[in-house]
Chains A and B, each alone.
Chain A
C-alpha cells in the first residue's frame, strides 16, 4: 500500500518530506557506525532482500493474503539505522523505477513505512529482550515487534489523514477500520518475521543484529579439565535513534498542523464552490442532521467501532500474554 500523489494535502507532503529527509540523514551516519565501509554493498543487498520479501504473499485469513512490510524484520536483522536506510531505498527505487507510490508522497511513504515501522519494531524488540534473554525470547520479541509495527504504521497514516487528508471521513471510524484490519495483517507479519529471524538465528546467529550481546559467552573446556570463559560479546547498540525519531514524529505533527492551519485560512476548494452555488447552508444543516441521527451510528459507526475495539483488545491481549510468557521463560532459564 504505497500512498500515491494527491492523497494528502501539500502541507502534509512537505512536512513529512522534511522529517523523512532528516531521519534518513541521521541514519546515514548511524549506518556507517553499524557497517563501516561495508555500508553501500551490505545495505544495498539487504534492501534487495527486503524488496524480494515484500513480494512474498502469505495467507492471512479466509482466502485473503497480505504481504510483508519488512520494517521490523530489517531492524532486527541488520539494526535500526541500516533498517531505515534499506526501507527508504526500497521505497525510493519503487517510486522512481516502478511508479509505485507518488513522487510527492515519497516523504509520507518513507515516514510511515520506513521510520515508523522500524522505530516501533526496534523499540518493542529492545523492550522485550531487555527483560528476557535467550533465543526463545528473541523469537517472541520479533513476533511482538512486527505485530505492533504494522498497526502503528496504520495509525500514523490515520493521524496524517486527519491532519491533511483530502477526503471527508470520520477519523475515529478510519482509525478503527485501519487498526482492526492491520492487526490481522500484523499477526501474519509477526509470524513470518519471528520464523524468519528464528531460521537465521539457527544457521548464522552472528548475522542477527538484535542477538548481539545476548549470546552466552564462549566457554573453552580443555582436555585436562581446565575451563576458560571468554568475554561476553559486546551488546548491540540501542542507539540514539529512538528519541530522535519520536521527536521527528512530533515535529511532523506540529509542522503539518501549523502549515495546514495557514493553508486552510483560504476557503477550501469545495467550500468555495459550495458558497458560490449557495448550497453551503444546506450542506451544514445536513451534516448536523446526520450527526444527530442515531440511525447513522447504528448503520455505520458501531460496527467499525466494534472492529476497532476488538482489534485493539486482541493486540493488547496477545502482547501482554506473550510478554508474560517470555518473562516466565527467562526466569526459568536463569
Chain B
C-alpha cells in the first residue's frame, strides 16, 4: 500500500512547460545511454547523477521527495545484495564474508543503473500531468486504443482503489485480519465483488459515452505540437549523457 499515490507535482518550470513527447523521448534516450555505459566507469554514473540533479533543480523537485519515491526499488536492491553472496567466480573477503568479485560488479551495475533509471522516471512523472503524458505517447505513435485504455484506467484507478479500501475498512472494522492461508477466501471474495463492480461500472461508462455521441474516437482538444527549440531543450539531457558515455568509452 501507499505506492499508488500519483507522483505529479504541479509547477511552472522549464521542465514542466516542455511538451510531454519531448520529455518521454529524452528520458527514454537517457535510460538507454545509462544502460549502455560500462559498469567499470564509476565516475560516469556520478556525472549522470549530477545531470539528473540539475534537472531536478530546474524543475524544483525537492530531494527528499525523490528519495521517498526510491522505496519502489527495494525488492531489487535486496536481490542485488544477494548476488555477490551466491555469485560465481573469483571470491574476495569483505568483513569476514566471502563475496564473488563478478557478483559485486553485477550488484553495483544493477544498483547504479536501476537507481538512475528510477530517478529519471520519477522526474518525468513529477513534472508531467498524467493525461498529457499519455497524449504525448499518442503523438509518438503509440496506438490510440492503447492510449484510450490507459486513460480510462488512469481516470478510474483511484475510484476502484478507493472501493477496495472501503471494503478493507469494512473487513477490519469487523475484526478481520488476513493472517494465514485460511483467510485467503475472504480476501478473494472481496476481489470478486470488486471485479463485478468494476465491470458494471465499465458498462455504465460505455452507455454514458454512447449517449453523448461516442464513435470509438476520443476528441483531442489540446494541440500538442512541439517546436524545434523545445526538442533541443529536451535533448540537452540525453545529449549531455551521451557526451559522458563518449568519454567513458
Which of A's residues lie within 8 Å of B, judged by CB? 1, 3-7, 10, 13, 24-25, 28, 31-32, 37-49, 51-53, 55-61, 68, 77, 85-86, 88-90, 92-93, 95-100, 102-104, 166-170, 173, 188, 191-200, 203-204, 207, 269-270, 272-273, 279, 282-283, 286-287, 290, 300
Contacts and interface: CB of A to CB of B under 8 A. Distances in A.
B198 to A, nearest CB: 4
B196 A59 contact: no
Contacts of A102: 31, 114, 117-118, 121
B159 interface: yes
The B interface, classified by DSSP as helix, strand, loop or mixed, is helix
User: Closest 9 interchain pairs by CB?
Assistant: A44-B152, A6-B113, A199-B192, A5-B117, A195-B188, A45-B202, A167-B106, A4-B114, A99-B121
A204 B7 CA distance: 36
10 contacts: A4-B110, A4-B117, A43-B152, A68-B191, A89-B153, A98-B6, A98-B72, A99-B118, A194-B188, A204-B196
Contact of B157 (A51, A68, A166): A51
B156 interface: yes
B201 to A, nearest CB: 6
Given A28-B145, A58-B178, A93 B89 contact: no
A199 B190 CA distance: 9
The A interface, classified by DSSP as helix, strand, loop or mixed, is helix
Interface of B: 1, 3-4, 6-8, 27-28, 31-32, 34-36, 38-40, 69, 72-73, 75-76, 83, 86-91, 100-103, 105-107, 109-110, 112-114, 116-118, 120-122, 124-125, 130, 133-134, 137, 143, 145-146, 148-157, 159-161, 163-164, 178-181, 183-185, 187-196, 198-199, 201-203, 205-206, 209, 214, 216, 218
B6 to A, nearest CB: 6
Contacts of A167: 83, 87, 102-103, 106-107, 109-110
Contacts of B4: 51, 55, 98
Q: Which residue, A96, A270, A282, has most C-beta atoms of chain B within 10 A? A: A96
Contacts of A287: 88-90
A48 B159 contact: yes
Given A4-B114, A25-B143, A199-B188, A104 B32 contact: yes
Given A5-B114, A52-B194, A166-B106, A42 B203 contact: yes
B191 A196 contact: yes
Contacts of B134: 96
A57 B206 CA distance: 31
Nearest to A14: B32
Given A45-B152, A169-B86, A207-B196, A6 B146 contact: no
Contacts of B124: 96
B159 to A, nearest CB: 7
Q: Which residue, A59, A86, A207, A273, has most C-beta atoms of chain B within 10 A? A: A59
Given A6-B117, A59-B179, A102-B117, 9 more contacts: A1-B76, A40-B216, A45-B152, A58-B187, A103-B31, A167-B103, A167-B106, A170-B88, A192-B191
